[in-house]
Amino acid sequence: MNLPAATYRLQYRNGMTFARAAGLAPYFASLGISHVYGSPIFQAEPGSTHGYDVTDPRAFDKSLGGEEDFARMEAAFRAEGLGLILDFVPNHMSASPRNPFWRDVLEWGQASEYAQFFDNDWSAPKLLVPALARSYGNVLEKGEFDLSFDEEDGGLTFTYGTLKLPLTPPSYGHVLMRGESEDFVELARRFAVATPETAPELKIELAAAARQPGFRKALDAAISALIENIDLLHELHEAQCWRLTHWRAARETLTYRRFFEIFDLVGIKVESQRVFDEIHAKLGELIEKGSIQGLRLDHVDGLADPKAYLERLQKTVGENEPLYLLVEKILGPDEELRADWPVAGTTGYEFIRALAGLFVDARGTDAMTRAYDRFLGEDVAYRSLVVETKRRMLTRNLAGELDRLKDLAGALATRHLSTRDFGTDTLRRATIELIAALPVYRTYIDISGAQEKDRATLDSTLASAKATREVEDEDAIDFLGRVLTLDFEAPEDQGAALEFATRLQQTSGPVMAKAVEDTVFYRYNRLIALNEVGGEPDQFGGPVAAFHEAMERRQQRQAAGLSATATHDTKRGEDARARLYALSEMPDAWGNAVHRWAGLTAELHSDCGGLIVPEPETEWMFYQALAGAWPLDLKLEDGQGLSALSDRMAEFMLKAVREAKVHTSWTGQNEDYEEAVRAFTTAALDPTRARAFLRDFVAFCQPIFVAGALNSLAQTAIKLTAPGVPDIYQGTEFWDFSLVDPDNRRPVDFDTRRSELKKAGEALTEDLVVNWRDGAIKMRLLKAGLDLRKTARNIFSEGDYLPVQIEGPAADHAVAFARLLASSAVVVIAPRLCLELLEGQDGPLVPRSRWGDTIVRLPKSFANQTLRDILTGRSITGEAVELAEILETFPVGVFSSQVNPA
């Protein structure tokens, strides 16, 4: 397996095409990465900004340049020695008529050759299409439906706005019988008995007939006559394999498994060999040709059996040599990646969580909690909020999935005398409490039953579910435990139990993600730097020893997993998060500042039906988000810059309050409340209305900006050298203070980065420190670290991880570790919790005097070696080295025994 040295995440679309990516190949190679890690490239919905709404995995997206431009990009990458890792979607596709597989299912229902391609509930009478803005009857009454004829393929479609649903050919007679000639009657009869095999020929015949002016005129008249008759149009609608409904119906009556709560993404049954072969055909071809060297698998937890899928994938495309596979998998705090999965690792969210533990000051926990609760006027219990939000998400947004689980459990319960008396409401409540209590995204019970770790998780989950006392009959909860562990003797019972377990495991992940990441993370805002994908907002920092333990486990379990600090899904830019870590070191000062700012902006608040907007929770979040996003070069005199930031913050705040789902939501928008939040946001960033606040805010945040830059450099140095493969998210070569998407998917100015790369490499480190605000210092560190990974590649792919001891008065303010392989060594020293040490400084360099007599005690095994700093060229030798000496001229130290300085 050809393991990457480092990856660069490139977001295709939004102006990034194959041709443009090809032109960037020399820049990527000069930066020092080994592999481009690209977002999905197969045909997606027109105008897609992300590519996860795939319509055809057998073809490259035309908007990216298609087959020819992909070949040119591949050649350009190959010429620069770059590999390609592709983001692939095995769980779902677009539920759109533009998806040829789904269109065939819409046209023929269970008679379609792709009927078993998608995870449909064929016990339902119709496939629901929840696309209507209002009720079906209302839309029908207002004449918003239409019919159209495709003169190319002879097909008839039922239209609503831009949506075009294919009519099932046997129903064409509803239209053709409106014609007056015998030709129409004959065609109607023949279509009435059409099959998937005979219909294409009949359509060709209809298209040919329609090219005759007289026939086409009569056909158009027949179509118009039917459209104008509501009863006939309704009758035609009812003759289809699908049924149009109001979009709200999706939450409780949807007839297919969807991605999370997104009804226009339909789950596919990739566990079927035929489906697997179909969606991986083009991918396998690219891998066989050597065009792709690795895969990142999207939402692996959505699959019925992730392990079986991964094993099949490796067997299919990695038969000669294992393919480099990564899974998008969010691990719980005490959860490890499954050792029996044939993958290199995850995409790195647990790495971000480990960094948060390192850079957040645990000593500030109580003070920050007091400040937060005082501003809110109430105490917030995070864990209780999570459980309650999971319940709400399951019973409201995913009500259809809950009903399906309840029915499956009920059908199994009625088979046995001891459980036949469980009522449907009891089983429903038991299912809710079990999923709400589950501490991880999902378990991995398969046909072989539950592994020991799954049994342990379920035991604690069942105990927690009982402790809530929400289910009076605890036997019902125990019954679900039996079902999940397939604890039955009869094969048919085990099969039914496995179906329930599979469905529950495919549901628990979306419940966790939507309830926690996309709801609670916008409701509980004590320190939003912790509100990150894979994060635990109630875990406020930790000791250095905990970080070392996490890295040692990482070295053992997924040394080739990605080490990310930003992704397309993270809640904020990596440098914005690093800034906000510093707030943990000044909780009292932050709390006082927020109270002061609330007073300075009081007249900007609005009364929205008795609610003062923004309410305390939202306002507390706003100031943190603003502190994280404020550009380093933005002055109060820069009206254009303030306006641009205001627009970004307004879009973020709108998304945040909708995600929080307290006073508004995506599905139940409160326009008055949203306008009040927008008005406050724009007014607070208008110097003509809020100059006193802005002056105070910017002055207060200057030390945070400096400490945040030091945190950023420290986390970059760690990412480049700790166990794992460093992943660089596009544009983060310079400071990245992005907000959540779509802000973090803005086009990247690669021209500037290309021109600045050479300058940063030639600049004196002293000048980089002085001019730190321009971001060149980060690019230089990145470039030097990536070069080191190429020249000392084996140390990072095979070397051990060894914690390095720091002793002295400032020992808590730095972390050090070594990477060792035989006689080669790399030693990394990075500051942490340095807000106080930086007091009075205008740059991210701790004054020598403030380190005192703190020393770094190097391992005896290479204490006699000379280690050279890859950035400054300075050398250290000996067992004990003064921290002040190591970090005298540059914010971080990365020393190697075998390379020259950059």
Which residue reads 């009500």 in tokens?
Answer: 399
CB 355 within 8 A of CB 337: no
Q: For 159-187, what is the HEC assignment?
A: EECCEEEECCHHHCHHHHCCCCCHHHHHH
pLDDT digits (tens, 9 = 90+) for 155-167: 999 999 999 999 9
**Residue 582: count of CB within 10 angstroms of its CB:** 28
Half-sphere exposure of residue 634: CA atoms within 13 angstroms, side-chain side: 25
pLDDT band at residue 859 using 50, 70 and 90 as cut-offs: confident
Distances, alpha carbon 415 to alpha carbons 419, 422, 486, 893, in Å:
8, 11, 15, 67
pLDDT band at residue 2 using 50, 70 and 90 as cut-offs: confident
Chain centre to alpha carbon of residue 892: 30
Classify residue 836 by burial, with Cβ atoms within 10 Å: 0-12, 13-18, 19+: middle
CA distance 136 to 125: 17
Looking at residue 900, its pLDDT comes to 47
Looking at residue 902, its pLDDT comes to 42
Nearest to 681 by CA among 606, 583, 577: 606
CA angle 698, 702, 706 (to 5 degrees): 150
Looking at residue 151, its pLDDT comes to 92
Looking at residue 878, its pLDDT comes to 87
User: Given a cut of 70, is residue 901 above it in pLDDT?
Assistant: no
Q: What is the mean pLDDT of residues 431-454?
A: 96
Query: Amino acid letter at 137?
Result: G
CA distance 240 to 538: 51
Q: What is the mean pLDDT of residues 183-211?
A: 95
pLDDT > 70 fraction of the chain, expressed in percent and rounded: 99
Q: What is the mean pLDDT of residues 44-54?
A: 96
Q: What is the mean pLDDT of residues 364-393?
A: 97
CA distance 69 to 77: 12
Distances, alpha carbon 169 to alpha carbons 111, 202, 225, 627, 801, in Å:
12, 9, 19, 59, 65
pLDDT band at residue 760 using 50, 70 and 90 as cut-offs: confident
Q: What is the mean pLDDT of residues 348-369?
A: 98
Q: What is the mean pLDDT of residues 581-603?
A: 98
Q: What is the mean pLDDT of residues 668-697?
A: 97
pLDDT band at residue 1 using 50, 70 and 90 as cut-offs: low
Q: Torsions phi, psi of 880, nearest 5?
A: -125, 125
* Pair type for strands 35-38 and 83-88: parallel
Q: What is the mean pLDDT of residues 23-45?
A: 98
Which residue reads 């690219």 in tokens?
Answer: 286
**Residue 421: count of CB within 10 angstroms of its CB:** 12
Nearest to 297 by CA among 744, 288, 311, 786: 311
CA distance 644 to 893: 36
Three-class SS of residue 83?
Answer: strand
User: Given a cut of 70, is residue 601 above it in pLDDT?
Assistant: yes
Q: What is the mean pLDDT of residues 716-721?
A: 98
Nearest to 740 by CA among 853, 833, 621, 620: 621
Q: What is the mean pLDDT of residues 309-318?
A: 93
Average pLDDT of every residue of the chain: 96
Looking at residue 536, its pLDDT comes to 96
Nearest to 730 by CA among 267, 222, 38, 213: 38
User: Given a cut of 80, is residue 449 above it in pLDDT?
Assistant: yes
Q: What is the DSSP string of 241-292?
A: SEEEEEGGGHHHH-SB-EETTEEEEEEB-TTSHHHHHHHHHHHHHHHHHTS-
Nearest to 107 by CA among 1, 191, 21: 191
User: Given a cut of 80, is residue 862 above it in pLDDT?
Assistant: no
Q: Return the DSSP state at 39.
A: P
pLDDT band at residue 898 using 50, 70 and 90 as cut-offs: confident
| N residues, the chain | 902
Q: Torsions phi, psi of 489, nearest 5?
A: -90, -45
